[in-house]
Amino acid sequence: MSFDPDLTACAALVEQADPDRFLAAMAAPVAARRVLFPLYALNVEVARAPWVTQEAMIAEMRLQWWRDALEEIAGGKTIRRHQVVSPLADILSPELAAYLDQYISVRRWDIYKDPFEDEAHLTTYLEHSAGALMVAATQSLGPADADVVRDYGYAVGVANWLVAVPKLEARGRIPLLDGTAAGVRALARTGLDRLNRARGKRDAVSAAARPALLAGWQAEALLKQAVAQPERVADGALGQSEFRKRAGLMWQAATGRW
């Protein structure tokens, strides 16, 4: 399968800004990359929109631009020409485009410096960001139970969130409700619990949809690391060696087990 210039641009954007998801997409079948690269490029654009300016109103407008683009896809309207939006329109159903509105709206938290209100607020943020993106990716590839994928996506979101904690704090954000060792362990354990719950219903995700789950190949290792050594979160030392990362991805891609 050859990529048109838009898909090539999406892949290049992901490779530069999100190398782990780029590796996951490259480990997927070639046909699946046509779906994964536009969605992961959307994730890059949405994730960085709140951070490219100190002006809250401008950041709000940037996020609204993406919400408007998805609304065009959802409503069957004329789609704006854009190297990410155009390929998204080719792979997203109207229902999934509408569903992704919540994925963008929760990123408003990134604009401001207010802490999460409570555990439910943080859970909603992770479910509607990492979880919703994974639901859209899986269901764009094949049949997949949204609740099962959302559990898996939440676990992946927690793992990635814990990795990002030092950078978020350096930017003046308060990413954790409880930054103590006990608090970090508790959050990591909720991720592991939901990962295991999702795995208990593996059959609810079709083989066609599973390549989208490759993006979470490191979640279990990172969450277990955070439980065993929560101090690594504050130290910015949560992570695997390059060899272990690539070996784990190759195993998941080869076996299809997540």
pLDDT at res. 77: 85
Report yes or no: 233 and 162 within 8 Å, Cβ to Cβ: yes
* Superfamily for domain range 116-258: Farnesyl Diphosphate Synthase (1.10.600.10)
Ranges of CATH 1.10.600.10 domains, the chain = 116-258
pLDDT at res. 1: 54
pLDDT at res. 3: 85
pLDDT per 10-residue tile (average), the chain, 258 residues? 88 98 98 98 97 94 97 94 96 97 96 96 97 98 98 98 97 96 98 98 97 98 98 97 96 96
Beta partners for 144?
Answer: 205
pTM above 0.85, yes or no: yes
- 238 Rama sector, left if φ>0, alpha if ψ -120 to 50, beta otherwise: beta
